[in-house]
């Protein structure tokens, strides 16, 4: 079967893990090039050993590679600031861009929620690791009940937060909060990230709080959350609910005080998640990085499959 050639910009942890996932798991993609800025990076060295084209001259180096014209999809695993330039260059060549930074030039995409709506977008944004883990749960609640407010807390091991993650903390919270509203369906969203220095490192844990409308159907919410968890688990095997969904009712006599919204009655829904990495390149505790690369690969597979189908037709 023919495959679509892709390139990865960013030879750090995320880019290297994504490269290995493409090699091991992809049905419609094949690696064409690994692009970085540090000639001594492990990602570039591994890519070279695998026989892929490499360059340490960033996007300008990618344009010079002999197989550049064959590349149809590019993943950007660098930083929000760098992505602005990378995207501007790649769009000149009609390349499908999948953005793993919080730049959010293109629409926010969570594969199980809204990928179908953005199959024609030249650039899609994979939100953040916290967003990929938690927004499906917000959407699971909002598709069966109105959600006034949703708050997510993503707790990751300090060791799994590289320089890119640390440089983009503000973008993480802003991008995730917006996506909770735009993709998750909450009227108002808030995101918090915690980098836990515990030793040994703990795997990614996520907590999702939603304030749903008064009288929301608890069983319908419980079932919707379970179905969504199964859907995410299809491409992130280590994704799982830690326990049953928890509910607490707040009536008009005992409303919940939401900053920015005031005192509201409703049904508080609490969802507790755990994301264990596949340990392809990164440690198993780095589920925050694994869910980003897994989501990006799932999206790229759909793009590649669609391209191949259209080509055959």
Q: Which residues are annotated as a binding site for NAD(+)?
A: 11-14, 160-168, 288
DSSP secondary structure, 31-73, as one string: EEEEE-S-TT-HHHHHHHHHT-EEESSHHHHHHHSTTGGGEEE
210 within 8 A of 162, measured Cβ to Cβ: no
Binding site, by residue number, is: 11-14, 160-168, 288
Q: How far is CA 166 from CA 133, 169, 195, 289, in A?
A: 19, 6, 10, 13
Q: How far is CA 47 from CA 12, 36, 171, in A?
A: 12, 11, 29
Pick the catalytic residue: 129, 154, 157, 225? 129
Cα radius of gyration rounded to whole Å, the chain: 20
Strand partners, 124: 98
* 129 assigned to active site: yes
Q: Using CA atoms, how far apart are residues 68 and 256, in angstroms rounded to an integer?
A: 55
Backbone torsion region of residue 145, taken as left when φ is above 0, otherwise alpha when ψ lies between -120 and 50, otherwise beta = beta
303 within 8 A of 73, measured Cβ to Cβ: yes
Tell me the H-state helices in the chain: 13-25, 42-50, 58-64, 80-91, 111-114, 129-142, 163-167, 169-182, 218-233, 287-312
Could you list the active site residues? 129
């Amino acid at each position: 079967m023919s495959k679509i050639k892709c390139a990865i910009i960013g030879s750090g942890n995320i880019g290297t893990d994504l490269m290995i996932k493409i090699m091991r798991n992809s049905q419609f993609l094949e690696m064409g090039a690994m692009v970085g800025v540090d000639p001594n990076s492990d990602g570039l060295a591994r890519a070279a050993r695998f026989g892929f084209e490499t360059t340490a001259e960033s996007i300008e180096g990618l344009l010079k590679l002999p197989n550049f014209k064959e590349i149809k999809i590019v993943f950007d695993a660098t930083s929000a600031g760098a992505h602005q330039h990378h995207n501007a260059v790649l769009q000149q060549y009609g390349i499908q861009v999948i953005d793993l930074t919080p730049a959010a030039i293109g629409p926010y995409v969570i594969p199980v929620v809204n990928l179908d709506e953005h199959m024609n977008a030249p650039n899609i944004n994979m939100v953040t690791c916290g967003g990929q883990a938690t927004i499906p749960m917000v959407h699971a609640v909002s598709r069966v009940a109105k959600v006034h407010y949703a708050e997510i807390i993503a707790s990751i091991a300090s060791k799994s937060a590289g320089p890119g993650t640390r440089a983009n903390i503000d973008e993480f919270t802003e991008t995730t909060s917006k996506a909770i509203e735009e993709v998750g369906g909450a009227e108002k969203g808030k995101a918090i990230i915690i980098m836990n220095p515990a030793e040994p490192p703990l795997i990614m844990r996520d907590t999702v709080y939603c304030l749903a409308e008064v009288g929301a159907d608890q069983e319908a919410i419980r079932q919707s959350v379970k179905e969504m968890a199964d859907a995410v688990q299809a491409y992130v095997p280590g994704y799982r609910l830690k326990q049953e969904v928890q509910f607490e009712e707040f009536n008009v006599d005992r409303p919940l005080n939401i900053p920015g919204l005031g005192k509201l009655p409703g049904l508080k829904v609490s969802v507790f998640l755990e994301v264990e990495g596949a340990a392809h390149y990164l440690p198993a505790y780095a589920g925050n990085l694994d869910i980003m690369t897994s989501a990006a690969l799932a999206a790229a597979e759909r793009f590649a499959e669609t391209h191949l189908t259209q080509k055959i037709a």
